């Protein structure tokens, strides 16, 4: 049996691939390298990398004909909300059509399980906190709308076609290999990158949009991988949607404080006007996933420390 990871050369995907390989599994990665990098993937005889797009139907048909996949982990996406707003048609083709194509193939090939990476973006700016899976949703961007539509197709595939499928709503994921290069990259990757550059003598600041008291549910990437594997293996996840977070709210000011403890010092902080459309607070209710045995293993300090040390070792 072989396992397919779409988007496996990306930030979260590459951590999943690493874990699957360490368990001795045979893995195929399908990635178009639009944001992923081949260097993110480990060298292994058990890993096959295929460069191509999830929107290429012919390629998908050949791929599913060539391998007998046990599980499909579908993480490939245009993960930038900003890009989805700028290019809604192209984003929709990848984030929605691509998901539907994969579901069709998974169904045709009779795979054992389909796990889909959805997002907290489906909740939008509805004020009630913490976010529970059974709450109303209000996706505000093409990215959020496509994630929501996709997750409905994914979970409905169980009742409609008997395809065992689960959607996971990731909150704010951080960790090694997250790309800090865009202003819309994850805030932790940006803060760590700037701190390292500052320690290396660059004149640079940390920019905070707003007062820094906004909060997010930051989850370390290896905890996300654990959640993904629970979704794969626990039959109770079929047809269900789960939040993947820590259940804890952390402000940007707390992040900077903790980074200071780890790094010794941080760049001067510049406060800029809040970003348009920014939500003030976001946190997951994770009781549903906890009932299946999930519990985050890494504290924020541990996760930040590992990410910081890894990024520092690169310079
Ligand atoms: P990422 O950009 O590092 O990974 C996405 C991967 O998909 C990249 O390797 C990219 O090259 C690949 N890809 C993009 N379009 C493709 C296509 N048409 N065909 C094949 N491959 C394609 O981002 P990430 O943070 O690792 O995100 C992984 C998944 O998790 C995405 O679905 C994203 O929407 C979701 N997610 C991430 C977060 C987060 O905090 N990072 C939060 C919520 C949801
Ligand atoms: C996350 C997702 C986004 C979308 C959204 C849905 C990431 C990177 N972004 O956005 O794709 O799913 O959730 O709710 O996963 N900030 C600064 N300084 C910086 C960069 C960011 O102050 O240099 C602020 C930013 O304005 C925001 C907070 O930090 O208030 C978190 O920003 P983010 O882009 O990491 O995450 P978020 O939750 O806004």
The secondary structure of 64-79, three-state, reads HHHCCEEEEEECCCCC
- For ligand 1, atom 17, name the residue with the nearest CA: 53
Nearest CA among 24, 233, 19 for reference residue 115: 233
Residue 298 in this model has a pLDDT that exceeds 90: yes
Domain-embedded: residue 95: yes
Q: Does the pLDDT value for residue 206 go beyond 90? A: yes
The reply to whether 258 falls in a domain is yes
Ligand 2 near 219 CB (within 6 A):
no
265 and 279 co-located in one domain: yes
Structural domain of residue 95, as residue ranges?
2-172+221-244
pLDDT(226) > 90: yes
Substitution candidate for ligand 1 out of 30, 75, 146 with most atoms within 8 A of CB: 75
Predicted pLDDT at 277: 86
CA of 187 to the centre of ligand 2 (A): 6
**What is the number of the ligand 1 atom nearest to the C-alpha of 8?**
9
Q: How many domains does the chain have?
A: 2
Give yes or no: 143 in active site.
yes
- Domain with residue 52: its CATH number is 3.40.50.720
Read off the pTM: 0.98
CA of 186 to the centre of ligand 2 (A): 6
Task: Tell me whether residue 226 is in a domain.
Answer: yes
Q: Is residue 290 part of a domain?
A: no
Candidate from 81, 144, 148, 182 with most ligand 2 atoms within 8 A of CB, to mutate: 81
CATH number, residue 191: 3.90.25.10
Are 62 and 145 in a shared domain?
yes
* 233 and 147 inside one domain: yes
Under the banding of pLDDT at 50, 70 and 90, the label for residue 41 is very high
* Statement to judge: residues 156 and 196 lie in one domain: no
- Confidence (pLDDT) at 315: 80
**Mean pLDDT of all residues in the chain?**
97
Q: Over the stretch 149-185, which tens digit does the pLDDT of each residue have?
A: 999 999 999 999 999 999 999 999 999 999 999 988 9
Alpha carbon distance, N-terminus to C-terminus of the chain = 39
Whether 132 and 184 map to the same domain: the answer is no
Q: Do 20 and 137 sit in the same domain of this protein?
A: yes
pLDDT at residue 133, rounded to an integer: 98
What pLDDT shows up at residue 291? 98
Q: How confident is the model at residue 250 (pLDDT cuts 50, 70, 90)?
A: very high
What digits encode the pLDDT tens for the residues 43-52?
999 999 999 9
238 and 114 in a common domain: yes
Residues 6+ apart with CB under 8 A from 280: 214, 215
What's the CA-to-centroid distance between 265 and ligand 1, angstroms?
A: 32
- Mark whether 145 and 63 lie in a shared domain: yes
């Amino acid at each position: 049996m072989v396992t397919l990871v779409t988007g496996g050369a990306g930030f979260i995907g590459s951590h999943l691939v690493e874990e699957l390989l360490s368990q001795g599994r045979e893995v195929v990665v399908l990635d178009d390298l639009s944001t992923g990098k081949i260097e993110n993937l480990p060298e292994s005889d058990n890993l096959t990398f295929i460069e191509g797009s999830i929107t290429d139907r012919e390629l998908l048909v050949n791929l599913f004909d060539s391998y007998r996949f046990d599980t499909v982990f579908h993480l490939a996406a245009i993960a930038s909300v900003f890009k989805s707003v700028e290019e809604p048609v192209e984003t929709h083709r990848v984030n929605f059509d691509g998901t539907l194509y994969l579901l069709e193939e998974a169904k045709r090939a009779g795979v054992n399980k389909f796990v889909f990476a959805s997002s907290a973006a489906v909740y939008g700016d509805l004020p009630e906190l913490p976010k529970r899976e059974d709450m109303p949703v209000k996706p505000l961007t093409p990215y959020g709308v496509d994630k929501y539509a996709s997750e409905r197709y994914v979970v409905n595939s169980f009742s409609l076609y008997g395809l065992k499928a689960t959607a996971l709503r990731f909150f704010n994921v951080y960790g090694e290999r997250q790309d800090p290069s865009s202003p819309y990259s994850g805030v932790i990757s940006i803060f760590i990158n700037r701190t390292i550059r500052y320690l290396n003598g660059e004149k640079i600041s940390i920019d905070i949009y707003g007062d820094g008291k906004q909060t997010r549910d930051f989850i370390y990437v290896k905890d996300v991988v654990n959640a993904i594997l629970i979704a794969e293996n626990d039959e109770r996840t079929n047809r269900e949607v789960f939040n993947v977070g820590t259940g804890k709210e952390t402000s940007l000011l707390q992040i900077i404080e903790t980074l200071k403890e780890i790094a010794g010092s941080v760049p001067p902080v510049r406060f800029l006007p809040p970003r348009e459309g920014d939500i003030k607070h976001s946190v997951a209710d994770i009781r549903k996933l906890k009932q299946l045995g999930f519990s985050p293993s890494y504290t924020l300090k541990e996760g930040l420390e590992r990410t910081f040390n890894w990024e520092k070792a690169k310079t």
